[in-house]
Amino acid sequence: MSEAPATLTATALITGGSRGIGKGIALALGQAGLQVYLTYVSKAAEAEAVAAEIRSKGGLASAFGLDVGDSSAVADFFQSEIKDKVLLKALINNAGITKDGLILRMKDEDWDKVLGINLRGPFICLREAAKIMTRQRLGRIVNIVSIAGQMGNPGQANYSAAKSGLIGLTKSAAKELASRNITVNAVAPGFIVTDMTDKLDAATRDLYLTQIPLKRFGTVDDVASAVSFLVSDSAAYITGQVLAVNGGLYC
């Protein structure tokens, strides 16, 4: 197998980079000097604005519409936009959704939808990225999981199961891909202020706040810093790990 030409531009692909944590990661990796490819599923203008912000600071960035639940679209994207076109330094599996509900009332479609986007989607992206990174003999994969996948959360059986599954995928992929100089790690945010957590009611938010030892909710920059570290040369000997960014809520 041949290695990718050294002239290709080192690139980080971030799924769901249009807002929230993914946007923070995109800006941080752009700042770190990587070309940023960020994806969105519905918010094209927001995604284009993130790419424009990175370019305005002297970086390289492009936004792409890509539903991680559509496996053939994901495979086509890797073939048409990534393979032999860029050096795929990093894949950040960040895109995620919630469809909360108590188990007794949870519909099959809400289970399938969350597992499809939050677990099958990252698997498809990881598999397609691994095909390319294996040839490169180089790559960093970071899966954004959740404290809910570590400690469980009432009303989030589907989401917690998907994120626990993604931790298992992280550890298995780390072992399979290590011989090709590819590291695979997870970052597990606690309560981070984004559109996803804005949906929670005030009582739930207040309850979390009383339980967080550092006495504040996290920011997208708190998570982006952890991801930047795992992508950096400083983390070359770290693989198969789950780095919690949760203010001490679960340790």
> One symbol per residue from 30 to 59: x for binding ligand NAP (CB under 6 A), - otherwise; what is it?
---------xxxxx--x-------------
**Residue 250 annotated among the catalytic residues of the structure:** no
- Residue whose CB is less far from ligand NAP, 138 or 144: 144
The stretch among 4-12, 92-100, 225-233, 235-243 that binds ligand NAP (CB under 6 A) is: 92-100
**Nearest CA-CA partner of 200 in 163, 159, 166:** 159
Q: Indicate whether 200 belongs to the interface with ligand NAP (CB under 6 A).
A: no
Q: Which one from 159, 208, 237, 250 is the annotated catalytic residue?
A: 159
- Is residue 145 within 8 Å of residue 110, measured between CB atoms? no
Looking at the DSSP bridge assignments, the partners of residue 39 are: 64
Token output for 40: 């969105």
User: Which amino acid is present at 78?
Assistant: F
**Closest distance to ligand NAP from the beta carbon of 190 (Å):** 6
Q: Indicate whether 108 belongs to the interface with ligand NAP (CB under 6 A).
A: no
- For 133, other C-beta atoms within 10 Å of its C-beta total 26
Q: Indicate whether 92 belongs to the interface with ligand NAP (CB under 6 A).
A: no
Alpha carbon distances (Å) from 1 to 42, 174, 217: 38, 21, 47
Q: Indicate whether 21 belongs to the interface with ligand NAP (CB under 6 A).
A: yes
- For 243, other C-beta atoms within 10 Å of its C-beta total 18
Q: Indicate whether 165 belongs to the interface with ligand NAP (CB under 6 A).
A: no
Residues recognised as catalytic: 159
